[in-house]
Amino acid sequence: MFPNALAQRLAESYLRNPLSQLQQLCTKSSWSLPDITAVLQTLENKRRQLVASEESIETELLHTFLTEAERRTKVEVLQLANQLRTIQADLQATTERRNSLRQLEASEVGDSGPPSKRSRLADEVPEPTESAAVADGSQPRNPSGPIALSGSAAFTSLVSAVQKPAYMKSLAQRKNRVYTEFPDLLQHYFDAHRRTPGRAVNRFSTSLSMFTRYDTANVLTTLRYGDADNFSSIISSIEFDKDEKVFSTAGVQKKIKIFDFETFANTTYVDVHYPVLEITLEHKISSQSWNPFMQSVLAVSDYSGAVGLWDVNTGQNLRIFQEHEKRAWTVDFAQTDPTRLASGSDDSRVLIWSTTAAQSMLNITTPSNVCTVKFNPVNSNEILAGSADHSVYLFDLRNTKQPARVFQSHSKAVSYVKFLNSSDFVTASTDSTLKLWNVNNGQLLRTFSGHTNERNFVGLTTNSQFIACGSEKNAVVVYYKSISHPAIEHRFDYEGAPPQNDQDTSRFVCAVCFRGQSNLLLCANSIGTLRLIELAQSSAS
């Protein structure tokens, strides 16, 4: 039963309803036919008013939409017209250049030059002998045949005949990559025009050439250094020294291993490769960094929180810094100051050290665990710190009360920071993305996706043009700096190992390192395989 007050309100509400009132009136009133006709006419007029009102609203809404659609479409048409003019101007200039190059090529291959020039070239360039041609894999020339060339023309024709098929195959492959990645390339093209209008075409042309230069990775050397049944062989870090003659590996085996690069590179496959030097520590090693001026000095951070300096020529410890209260994840030498280095830890601190002092120079507290630190390569007073709170903090060491800038876009912990050049840097995160930033204005330039990284430290490296990282699909993934999708993916499958499906993340690449600005890349995975791979152009079948 409802209370009396509630029942009263329900009754009043019912009686205030027009339909209820009309129904009640019809049942209780004795209406004549004219009365009913008048009521119906009134209702019809009301219906028409409501319909007209609804149509008016619909028309106004549609008019608003179409007006805005027209405005936006006109803007898009104007943009497309401007883009088309830009493309047409660049296409015309490129076509003229292409025709000039083809004419130059034809004049070099043909026999239409001035007689004096042809004679001079014939004297300077020796004619290949028949035996040399056979040894090179080509057919002996027939002097009595329909085409009888001599001197430079014959030599140029022979070289062209050998080289052109390979050239055409390579060009066809690279053109296919243009079509495959066309949306990203088109966006990059217009971005280049917005950023550097006067030099856009040349910059984009260089980017296009670089992006299509490599599409595969060739394995040059493989080293099996661990037990495939466990994770005791995980390498946390691979780093080259300043002259790129030796490289070091370090990880959960608690060992620093120094390898001579040339010796390693000249070995195709080895189960055991003895390093030049091996240093055993008490704790697992998380990171390492070579001094940019003192070639033999290597800094390492470990799971105890210690940061150590080692002389790799003698294997002697030079200094141990012990101020972190928890595990130290990262260490980095400043590139412009050989005495300055930094470390980051789970204690949420970045510590700045000097090789000449026992105590830290600066103690910077951050909001969360510090996973990675990196000095600006041209300014030792600026340092980036990647954090477990998904952010990257830029600190000016001359005033560390507040970060100079905070970079936020990742959705999980930032595991690595690497500079691509003096102004742009790359971050890696366990949200399975890499991001490219401008350190000076804080702008997010690009997000790279295509690898899997949700749990582990998988490594990050750059060579000014390309960016490489590990993947939890047991692969190395390489990106070109201007394209958001992978340029190359190299799987770490090896003979005798069961194939790994995409859902299996038990095997993953844990460390990567370019050799300077070259196309050579060292990489290691979690089950004990160290590889030297070369970015290359695949051979067309």
pLDDT per residue over 42-53, tens digit each? Answer: 877 877 887 778
Q: Residue 27 falls within a domain, yes or no?
A: no
Of 90 and 159, more confident: 90
Kindly report which listed range (122-136, 225-239, 329-343) carries the lowest average pLDDT score: 122-136
Mean pLDDT over 293-301 rounds to 95
Look up the CATH number of the domain holding residue 482. 2.130.10.10
State what percent of residues in the chain have pLDDT above 70.
Answer: 79
DSSP H helices, 17-129, are: 18-28, 33-109, 115-124
The token pair that represents 483 in the structure block? 């394209």
The domain in which residue 294 lies consists of 213-536
Q: Give me the pLDDT at residue 120, please.
A: 35
State what percent of residues in the chain have pLDDT above 90.
Answer: 60
Strands 349-354 and 362-365, sheet pairing: antiparallel
Short-list 491, 496, 20, CA closest to 228:
496
Q: Is 321 helix (H, G, I), strand (E, B) or coil?
A: strand
Q: Which pTM value belongs to this model?
A: 0.77
CB atoms within 10 A of CB 292: 17
Of 66 and 10, more confident: 66
Q: How confident is the model at residue 12 (pLDDT cuts 50, 70, 90)?
A: low
Based on the structure, what is the number of domains in the chain? 1
Of 263 and 417, more confident: 417
Mean pLDDT over 134-163 rounds to 43
Mean pLDDT over 386-396 rounds to 97
C-alpha to C-alpha distance for 512 and 460, rounded to whole angstroms: 6
Q: How confident is the model at residue 34 (pLDDT cuts 50, 70, 90)?
A: confident
Short-list 435, 401, 415, 430, CA closest to 372:
415
* Half-sphere exposure of residue 501: CA atoms within 13 angstroms, side-chain side: 1
Cα 88-90-94 angle, rounded to 5 deg: 115
C-alpha to C-alpha distance for 114 and 103, rounded to whole angstroms: 16
Residue 117 has pLDDT above 70, yes or no: no
Q: Residue 199 falls within a domain, yes or no?
A: no
Residue 249 has pLDDT above 70, yes or no: yes
Q: Give me the pLDDT at residue 14, please.
A: 52
CB 426 within 8 A of CB 418: yes
Short-list 395, 383, 390, 455, CA closest to 425:
383
Mean pLDDT over 192-210 rounds to 88
Q: Residue 373 falls within a domain, yes or no?
A: yes
Q: Residue 287 falls within a domain, yes or no?
A: yes
Q: Is 451 helix (H, G, I), strand (E, B) or coil?
A: coil
Q: Give me the pLDDT at residue 503, please.
A: 57
Q: How confident is the model at residue 115 (pLDDT cuts 50, 70, 90)?
A: very low
Q: Residue 166 falls within a domain, yes or no?
A: no
C-alpha to C-alpha distance for 225 and 530, rounded to whole angstroms: 7
Short-list 127, 166, 125, CA closest to 149:
127
Residue 313 has pLDDT above 50, yes or no: yes
Of 1 and 372, more confident: 372
Mean pLDDT over 282-310 rounds to 96
Mean pLDDT over 323-335 rounds to 97
Phi, psi of 487 (to 5 degrees): -90, -35
Residue 81 amino acid letter? A
CB 370 within 8 A of CB 348: yes
Place of tokens 């088309």: 84
The token pair that represents 130 in the structure block? 């028949």
β-bridge partners, 341: 333, 353
Q: Residue 322 falls within a domain, yes or no?
A: yes
Angle between helix axes 33-109 and 151-180 (nearest 10 degrees) is 160
Mean pLDDT over 58-83 rounds to 93
Three-state SS sequence of 352-395: EEECCCCCCCEEEECCCCEEEEEEECCEEEEEEEEECCCEEEEE
β-bridge partners, 408: 391
Q: Residue 478 falls within a domain, yes or no?
A: yes
Q: Give me the pLDDT at residue 11, please.
A: 55
Residue 125 has pLDDT above 70, yes or no: no
Q: Highest mean pLDDT: which of 126-130, 168-172, 231-235, 516-520?
A: 516-520
C-alpha to C-alpha distance for 468 and 487, rounded to whole angstroms: 10
Q: What is the CA radius of gyration of the chain?
A: 35
C-alpha to C-alpha distance for 530 and 522, rounded to whole angstroms: 7
Q: Residue 172 falls within a domain, yes or no?
A: no
Place of tokens 């690497």: 418
Tell me how far the alpha carbon of residue 489 is from its chain's centroid: 12
Element (H, E) at 211: helix 200-213
Q: Give me the pLDDT at residue 308, please.
A: 97
Average pLDDT, the chain: 84
The token pair that represents 74 in the structure block? 């006109």
